[in-house]
Amino acid sequence: MSETRIIDASDPAEQNKVVQEVVDLLAAGEVVALPTETVYGLGADALNPDAAAKVFDAKERPSFDPLIVHVGSYEQVDEVAEVPEDLKEIVAKLMKAYWPGPLTLVLPKKDCVPDIVTSGLPTVAVRMSAHPIMKAVVRALGNPIAAPSANRFGRISPTSASAVEKELGGRIPAIVDGGACRDGLESTIIRPEAGEKRPTLHMLRSGPVTKEMLQRFGRVERPKRNRSNEAPEAPGQLANHYAPVTPLRLLRSFADFKPEEGKKYGLLSYCGAEKAGFINAYDWAQVEELSPGNGKLAEAAVRFFYVLRQLDESGVDEIIAEPVSETGLGVAIMDKLRRASIR
């Protein structure tokens, strides 16, 4: 494939035309990059194994890493997942609270979902996106859409159409430009489990729906890092992920920074605060701030992948990242920094 078309979705009056164009491609077994509220996804008909195989090929994604399936309605969940009787109440509550939105539920799968989509697992990861383009495409297609992040495997997730083009240009037929993503971090993934008193929510990937937000629904178990790169239970669990091409190191303290002569270093700063001990302690070749002057985790989350990409393309030899507070959205940001960092 030599050319990737950019489909402009900025005009609401043209949305129906855009949706039909995308649906025609997906129905023909092609893949299309689509905006969601989290990051851009590389979509394919989730019930078409040949189409799903094109997702893995374009991303160079290993077959053992499962895909998230996007549905267009609550009823469509029943088409792809077999929700056990003892989980129906908690699943319904979670969907009502956070759908459409950045929460993915891992549930027992139905046979119609191809094994390639779930990497042979008996479960399927399901969510309903809040982005109007993704919602409209899923509903118009009539089938759920399998859509991991629209980047090469293990690389920085894209939050704009231009970032997708840098990652997958020439590898896929089309990218729908729906503007910048609202949340900027991939969805939270949980696997609900029935309990005697309260359900347990196994948090497989941290994201915009935080532990604090989920605690009213059950006991939340935080994600455990996969240090051996063994086959994951859900996307985003591998030890090395979300990584720039430029080596990145996450340091707790500037005292741990030992620069090498002749190397150019870039700094990924939380908010540019002097008290963190990084920003004025060294002559950085490039500095990017997640939440300039504010230190707001919500802003840092939205800017995270964009800022990381800016540093990756700046020409520095190594990126040094200072930590953020591990509360709320900070848990997801720190998890991604750890997975992106060199060992």
Q: Is the pLDDT of residue 130 over 80?
A: yes
Q: Report d(CA 19, CA 257) in Å as an integer.
A: 50
DSSP annotation of 103 reads E
Residue 199 lies inside a defined structural domain of this protein: no
Give how far Cα 255 sits from Cα of 248, 251, 322, 325, Å.
17, 9, 12, 18
123 is in an annotated binding site: yes
44 is in an annotated binding site: no
Specify whether 171 is located in the same domain as 257. no
Q: For the whole model, what pTM was predicted?
A: 0.93
Positive or negative: CA dihedral 131, 137, 140, 145: negative
Q: Report d(CA 302, CA 134) in Å as an integer.
A: 19
Report the pLDDT value the prediction gives residue 342, as an integer from 0 to 100.
Answer: 73
70 is in an annotated binding site: yes
H/E element, 42 = strand 41-45
What is the phi/psi pair of residue 174, to 5°? -155, 150
Specify whether 48 is located in the same domain as 140. yes
Specify whether 83 is located in the same domain as 167. yes
**Residue 310 sits in a domain of what CATH number?**
3.40.50.11030
**Residue 153 sits in a domain of what CATH number?**
3.90.870.10
Q: Report d(CA 314, CA 96) in Å as an integer.
A: 43
- Convert the pLDDT of each residue in 283-317 to its tens digit: 999 999 999 988 899 999 999 999 999 999 999 99
Q: Report d(CA 56, CA 60) in Å as an integer.
A: 6
Specify whether 172 is located in the same domain as 76. yes
205 is in an annotated binding site: yes
Report the pLDDT value the prediction gives residue 223, as an integer from 0 to 100.
Answer: 61
Positive or negative: CA dihedral 176, 178, 180, 182: negative
Residue pair 210/187 in contact (Cβ under 8 Å)? The answer is no
Residue 218 lies inside a defined structural domain of this protein: no
Quick one: which of 245, 240, 235 has its CA closest to 308? 245
Q: What is the mean pLDDT of the chain?
A: 93
Residue where the block lists tokens 């060199």: 342
Specify whether 164 is located in the same domain as 263. no
Share of the chain above pLDDT 90, in %: 88
242 is in an annotated binding site: yes
- Convert the pLDDT of each residue in 26-58 to its tens digit: 999 999 999 999 999 999 999 999 999 999 999
Residue pair 185/66 in contact (Cβ under 8 Å)? The answer is no
How many Å from the N-terminal Cα to the C-terminal Cα in the chain?
Answer: 36
Report the pLDDT value the prediction gives residue 287, as an integer from 0 to 100.
Answer: 97
- Convert the pLDDT of each residue in 246-255 to its tens digit: 999 999 999 9
Q: Report d(CA 237, CA 242) in Å as an integer.
A: 11
38 is in an annotated binding site: yes
Ranges of beta strands (E only) in 55-160 are 68-70, 103-108, 123-127, 145-146
Q: Report d(CA 302, CA 305) in Å as an integer.
A: 8
- Taking the CB of residue 123, how many other CB atoms lie within 10 A of it? 19
98 is in an annotated binding site: no
187 is in an annotated binding site: yes
Which residues make beta-bridge pairs with 41? 34, 149
Specify whether 306 is located in the same domain as 173. no
List the domain range (segments joined by +) for residue 149: 5-177
Specify whether 41 is located in the same domain as 128. yes
Give how far Cα 265 sits from Cα of 155, 241, 268, 304, Å.
20, 21, 10, 18
Specify whether 73 is located in the same domain as 170. yes
Q: How many separate domains does the chain show? A: 2
Q: Is the pLDDT of residue 225 over 80?
A: no
160 is in an annotated binding site: no
Specify whether 153 is located in the same domain as 260. no
